[in-house]
Amino acid sequence: MNVSRASFVPVALALLLVLAGCSAPVADPSANEWSWPDDPPEDRLGWEAGYWYNESIAVNQSDGLNASEREAFVARTMARIERIRGLEFERTVPVEVVSRERYQNESSVFRAEPDAWEDQVYEATFLVGEDETAADALNDLYGGAVAGYYTPSDERIVVVSDAETPTLSRATLAHELVHALQDQQFGFAPPPDTHDGRIADDGLYEGDANLVEALYEKRCESDWECVQTPSAGGGSRSSFDFGVYLTVYAPYSEGPQFVDALRERGGWEAVNAAYDDVPVSAEQILHPRAYPDERPADVDVPDRSSAAWSRFDREVATDRLGEAFLYVMLWDTRAIDRERLRQNPGPYSRYNYTAGASAGWAGDELVPYRGDDGEYGYVWTTEWDTEADAEQFHRLYGTFLLQLRMGAERVDSNTYVIRGGPYADAFRVTRDGTRVTIVNAPTPEQLDEVHARR
């Protein structure tokens, strides 16, 4: 299965420092039988395709890149990735630069197709309402925020340039080259079935790439002089939905601090070992101490629907959304303080995806349902570490999120109705010990049809 790995444009953040210039090799990395700095007799860390990691290259991107400049830029960046990461590239990776316009018009790598099941996932978290599809929201995001990607099927990197004359961002190039290195050293398995599992999986792969990218940029500030990336000019790349963006960007933001925590435990060897024991939940990415032992609780939603309602006919008819999706839902609906997102991130994190209202998450299962009349609903059961955590979420979701933020009317002790707008539906919210169950249907009368009371 093709698993494309991408870098995304960080939104509403200061740009990374860009320095120009080049330098000659400054030190012999090891004792060798050849005369430094000549090319070594065989491939080794810190040298690729005729270029040392700290070798001078004549590259000026002000008028774009010619073939020889691109070859030198890519080769030296590969050597630098090797120097930082301690792993050897086995083969050169083709790199193509395309304009944003061409990427949007021609690329099908990141293209979501309409999917009613996926719509229920994003509707359950109040990120995409019934006036839009999840595919539309994701495609707006992919069109404007993808900075580059690596495709294992043809072992190729594509960098998306916003400049009038397409140029190579050294940060994006470094990021995508790490994905190529991961492919060559560890390979890519098919992605997990759940949204939570995919965030966890991406947290390792994207976290490794983003951490190396950050370390590369630090070396550009001190030890290395680096190729300048010309400004693409002002202006926003897209008007994509920021809440949807946060669900996609979570592993890019939080993954680096997870990988850095592994590196603190046992160096890059501990990071390498994680590819044989990939994290399984966003909780492990957000709270590295939970890796590898703390696993998601087993949450099973029994099917208590009437004959008029059924689960989707698909190989995996349920989903686990996880702590990151929960956090984004609470953030996007303003059920928690929005400023927290930008407060106290980790040293390599863009944002802070943790809050008391979501940190007690232990597990969940979301089951979308389809009615015979073409309507939709869902059952979402969340498990919490303690009854206090469950009670906090139960109260926050019903009283604050539904009533105060979404304008829902409370029609009985457990039932709420949003009368109009893209989220117009009925909700039954109940707590049983450490479990909170949310049932959604078009009307209060249909709640029992989707999921009958016990």
Q: What is the pLDDT of residue 235?
A: 41
Strand order in the sheet with 156-161: 5-8, 146-151, 156-161, 95-99
**pLDDT over 70 (residue 12):** no
CB pairs under 8 A, 24+ apart, for 36-45? 43/88, 44/88, 45/82, 45/83, 45/86, 45/87, 45/88
Determine the Cα–Cα distance for residues 7 and 158; give it in Å rounded to an integer.
10
Asked, as a colleague might, if the bond just before 292 is cis with ω within 30 of 0, I would say yes
Contact between residue 109 and residue 142 where contact means Cβ atoms under 8 Å apart? no
Q: What is the pLDDT of residue 64?
A: 85
Q: 3-state DSSP call for residue 351?
A: coil
Residue type, 136: D
Tokens 């774009």, located at residue: 64
- Identify which has the larger pLDDT, 21 or 306: 306
Q: What is the pLDDT of residue 11?
A: 52
The count of C-alpha atoms lying within 13 angstroms of the C-alpha of 275, restricted to the half-sphere facing its C-beta, is 18
Three-state SS for 192-252 is: CCCHHHHHHHHHHHHHHHHHHHHHHHHHHHCCCCCCCCCCCCCCCCCCCCHHHHHHHHHHH
Handedness of CA 158, 162, 167, 168 (dihedral sign): negative
Contact between residue 198 and residue 205 where contact means Cβ atoms under 8 Å apart? no
- Provide the pLDDT confidence category of residue 14 given band limits of 50, 70 and 90: very low
Instruction: Please spell the DSSP secondary structure of 119-179, one letter per residue.
Output: HHHHHHTTSS-TTS-HHHHHHHHHHHHEEEEEETTTTEEEEEE-SSS----HHHHHHHHHH
pLDDT, tens digit, 9 for 90 and up, residues 163-203: 878 789 999 999 999 999 999 999 999 999 999 999 999 99
Handedness of CA 115, 116, 117, 123 (dihedral sign): positive
The model carries a pTM of 0.91
Determine the Cα–Cα distance for residues 241 and 118; give it in Å rounded to an integer.
16
> Where exactly are the structural domains of the chain?
5-114+146-288, 296-450
pLDDT, tens digit, 9 for 90 and up, residues 386-441: 999 999 999 999 999 999 999 999 999 999 999 999 999 999 999 999 999 999 99
- E strand or H helix that includes residue 279: none
Q: What is the pLDDT of residue 23?
A: 36
Q: What is the pLDDT of residue 138?
A: 95
Determine the Cα–Cα distance for residues 92 and 244; give it in Å rounded to an integer.
35
List, in order, residues 6 or more apart from 277 with CB less than 8 Å away.
292
Output the six-digit token pair for 100.
């944003």
Q: Both ends of the chain: CA-CA distance in Å?
A: 42
DSSP 333: T
List, in order, residues 6 or more apart from 315 with CB less than 8 Å away.
none
Percentage of the chain modeled with pLDDT above 70: 91
Residue 438: closest CA among 131, 354, 423: 423
Q: What is the pLDDT of residue 16?
A: 24
- E strand or H helix that includes residue 441: strand 435-441
pLDDT, tens digit, 9 for 90 and up, residues 336-385: 999 999 999 999 999 999 999 999 999 999 999 999 999 999 999 999 99
Output the six-digit token pair for 150.
């690596």
Q: What is the pLDDT of residue 269?
A: 98
DSSP 401: I
Determine the Cα–Cα distance for residues 311 and 350; give it in Å rounded to an integer.
37
Residue 338 buriedness (CB in 10 A; 0-12 / 13-18 / 19+): exposed
pLDDT, tens digit, 9 for 90 and up, residues 105-141: 888 888 899 999 999 999 999 999 999 999 999 999 9
pLDDT, tens digit, 9 for 90 and up, residues 56-93: 899 999 888 899 999 999 999 999 999 999 999 999 99
- Provide the pLDDT confidence category of residue 10 given band limits of 50, 70 and 90: low
**pLDDT over 60 (residue 238):** no
Q: What is the pLDDT of residue 219?
A: 96
Determine the Cα–Cα distance for residues 229 and 216; give it in Å rounded to an integer.
14
Beta bridge partners of 366: 319, 380
Q: What is the pLDDT of residue 3?
A: 63
How high is the mean pLDDT of the chain? 90
Q: What is the pLDDT of residue 423?
A: 98
Percentage of the chain modeled with pLDDT above 90: 79
Determine the Cα–Cα distance for residues 130 and 126; give it in Å rounded to an integer.
10
Determine the Cα–Cα distance for residues 343 and 10; give it in Å rounded to an integer.
16
**pLDDT over 80 (residue 242):** yes
Output the six-digit token pair for 251.
């592993």
- Of the listed ranges 2-6, 184-188, 224-228, 383-387, the one predicted with least confidence: 2-6
